[in-house]
Structure 1
Amino acid sequence: MSADTDINTAHRFIEPLDVLFLRGNKLFGDPGSFGESLVPPWPSAAAGALRSQMLAHDGTDLAAFAKGQICHPSLGTPQAPGSFALTSFMLARKSANGTVETLHALPADLVATEKDNKRHLQSLRPQLPSHGMRSSSGFTHVPVLAEAERRKASSGLWLTHPGWQKYLRGQLPDPVHDLLTTSDCWAIDARVGIGLNSDTGSADDGKLFTVQAVAFRPGIGFVASVRGAILPSQGTLRLGGDGRAASSQSIALQAPEADLQAISDQGRCRIVLTTPGLFTQGWLPNGITRHDDGSHWLDLHGVRARLVCATVPRSETISGWDIARWQPKAALRAAPTGSVYWLDQLQTTPAALGKLAESGFWSATCEDTQRCAEGFNRFTFAAYNFA
């Protein structure tokens, strides 16, 4: 198993070889409890699997590394992470000819509905509230969905590569050709587990619980992008609960991206979280401050702009298991993937926009080096509004 020699961004297609137990943040194991799976899992799951693969590939003494007695060239130590940084982690599909396209859950400003077995896609648009209208929003604009007729909400949809590219360029994706359903990507296989007696190691009577196993369709997996490390070009990973097998293969990836020059010229944009946001101000990204006049301004890595509107789904709680310390990680509230923030009065250059997207919502001193390395607070730019 060889390793890449380039320490710039490397892309890996991770394909499950078995069902996966992608556990979220809900406890299970008590009699009658039910353990849900989270797809895609938090980026920390991929970061942990890839770092474990690197340590095994390099022949590192895992026990000594966990105790901080060994400093890895790119992983550092558990207490002081090195240059390794997961920059993106998303669902993906591999075609018969070997090309890989990324798949994306609908951002919070895209709304899918159905009527008469016909699917529709609409977008939330920031608008000034009508005169006399009051709300708890502290922004000048509010996200509005203008509907001419009532339709039934539709869920479990994923944007394909072309659909995501249209979205980033400010075009509305095609509801027929640019979407996949969850059933196109995976199926849920409920598994029954038995609670064990911690003293005897044998099964306890009546302690049955159910967990969700995720069975991926052929060709469906994940794409993980890593900067600052030399990864094995191929191999096998232990991924998710119970360390189920998944293959990792080096790929060339041309990820969809917004036109940063056009955004700079236009002076406004959207920011879309591509991984959960662990922000010091809750749902408000790092680098944004509230001024005395009530306005919110972003000032980070050479990008300055006013935040005029946001649509952020209900927060989720991120934790995980720290293998080195053999204890749970701290539970943190996160802004979900797909949260959208609208910015105007943009004062920057395309190069500065690219630097900010590369850094993610982390300051120069970095609020949490471990969570940064695990791939949180990542986002992409998109055109301000839909054509």
Structure 2
Amino acid sequence: MAEYRYIEPQDVLFFRGNRLFGEPGNAGAALMPPWPSVFAGALRSAMLSAAGADPAQLRSGELPAPLDTVLGTPEEPGTFTLTGVTLARRQSSGTAEPLHPLPADLSVERDEATGECAVHRLTPQPLPAGVASSQPLERLPVLRRSDRGKPAAGYWLTHSGWQRYCQGEPPPAEALVHRSAIWSSDPRLGIALKPEQRTAAESQLYTTEGIRLCEGYGFLAAIAGSDPTSLPKQATLRLGGDGRGAFMSAVAAPVETSPEPAAIEAEGRLRIVLTTPGIFPGGWQLPGLDANGLWHYPGGRARLVAAAVPRGQVISGWDLAHHRPKPAQRAAPAGTVYWLEALEGGLKPLRKLAESGLWGMTPENEDPARRAEGFNRFAIANA
């Protein structure tokens, strides 16, 4: 059973991605939301600190019990697994409400006359006869737009809106939260240093983008496989670039509403939605997908008929245990949606797969370190 921690930043945060800068006028853009590995590293570092251990003991496999079982080694991670992380806002009751990235099959339109927003769903449609396309699947997600609406970006879903979405209903406009209400950009000016003298280098000013979360907003992380004595209930984390401070506290699990299983079982149709970036051998394609469009997974299979995939990401990071960069890997972003039909084996195998993530379905689809960091997680939704 997962434990939940609310993480509230105490300072401006620097979440660096893979957009490097170096030419005059370039700036280091922040990655928001950050990769789940950022939080996995911060949490594991806090566990090491609470036990009085250090990364050298992690590398050598000499951690004290029970931390040795929980964290393992960099080559063979232990039971610790980040099962999810998202933005959240603190409630007056002391709980934390998750905020979810807008799934790729939803579009927000703003009426220019009234200023009101509406949420529309993309629906898979077969290609018209005679139309050629590089699309490898049999259907394309199509949006039926109104004449009055104009596309609007930057919205997140409240948890109640996400629950309605997973049940197959379009969320109402009241379930939208614009990112400007959650965080703002805070650019910081810096100057390069000469490594030998540690003095300022001439003509080498640069700008990096910081993230300042609005009051009452933070992050919610779900952790499985930790010993009750190894994960602190409260702690100050070093989060993101430069190790800025963030306060962590234990919170109750959010209330979850499952999709309607009867409809999925009867119709054999459903969607799966990535809740964290997916690192797959075939790029955006689900691991276990064959050349005929059949997706095979332990205990069942289904036909993949359509997919809505935002622009791909490149995941990397810094390996603190070995003091080296992690390999760069392409990933399908959180919010990617896959439509499945002709479900065989029922929902039980899929629910079991959702507990462990999209891992281990092919020999290439296995990375214990990335699994522990929380990648390849998904949710099941009614079609």
TM-score scaled by structure 1? 0.92
Per-residue CA distance 1:321-374 (angstroms, 9 max, x = gap) = 111111111111111111110000011233222101111110167611111111
SS at match of 2:71: coil
Alignment coverage as a number of residue pairs: 372
Question: Given the alignment, which residue of 27, 38, 43 partners 1:45?
Answer: 38
Amino acid at match of 1:280: P
Amino acid at match of 1:159: L
Amino acid at match of 1:296: G
Are 1:372 and 2:371 an aligned pair?
yes
Question: Given the alignment, which residue of 145, 155, 158 partners 1:160?
Answer: 158
Per-residue CA distance 1:279-328 (angstroms, 9 max, x = gap) = 011110212222xxxx3111112131110111111211110011111111
Q: Which runs of 5+ in 2 are unaligned?
A: none
CA distance in 2, matches of 1:253, 1:373: 20
Question: Given the alignment, which residue of 170, 173, 176 partners 1:172?
Answer: 170
Q: Which residue of 2 aligns with 1:105?
A: 101
CA distance in 2, matches of 1:181, 1:70: 44
Map 1:8-47 → 2, pairs under 5 A? 8-28=1-21, 32-47=25-40
Return 329-338 or 364-373, whichever deviates more.
364-373
Q: Which residue of 1 aligns with 2:124?
A: 126
Q: Which residue of 2 aligns with 1:276?
A: 277
1:64, CA displacement in angstroms? 2.9
1:257, CA displacement in angstroms? 4.1
SS at match of 2:56: helix
Return 82-91 or 342-351, whichever deviates more.
342-351
SS at match of 2:70: coil
CA RMSD of aligned residues (A): 1.7
CA distance in 1, matches of 2:210, 2:135: 40
Q: Which runs of 5+ in 1 are unaligned?
A: 1-7
1:265, CA displacement in angstroms? 3.2
Per-residue CA distance 1:96-143 (angstroms, 9 max, x = gap) = 221211101111100112122221211110112222222112222211
Question: Given the alignment, which residue of 221, 224, 230 partners 1:224?
Answer: 221
Q: Which residue of 2 aligns with 1:247?
A: 247
Specify whether residues 61 and 129 from structure 1 end up closer, same or farther in structure 2 by C-alpha distance, changes over 3 A only: closer
CA distance in 1, matches of 2:312, 2:300: 26
SS at match of 1:242: helix
CA distance in 2, matches of 1:234, 1:265: 46
Amino acid at match of 2:238: R
1:242, CA displacement in angstroms? 0.4
1:148, CA displacement in angstroms? 3.7
Contact 1:164 1:256 in 2 (8 A): no
Contact 1:114 1:151 in 2 (8 A): yes
SS at match of 1:289: coil
CA distance in 1, matches of 2:251, 2:153: 30
CA distance in 2, matches of 1:357, 1:265: 20
Q: Which residue of 1 aligns with 2:316?
A: 319
Contact 1:68 1:79 in 2 (8 A): no
Amino acid at match of 2:376: N
Q: Which residue of 2 aligns with 1:96?
A: 92
CA distance in 1, matches of 2:298, 2:41: 28
Q: Matched residues, percent identical?
A: 47
CA distance in 2, matches of 1:380, 1:225: 14
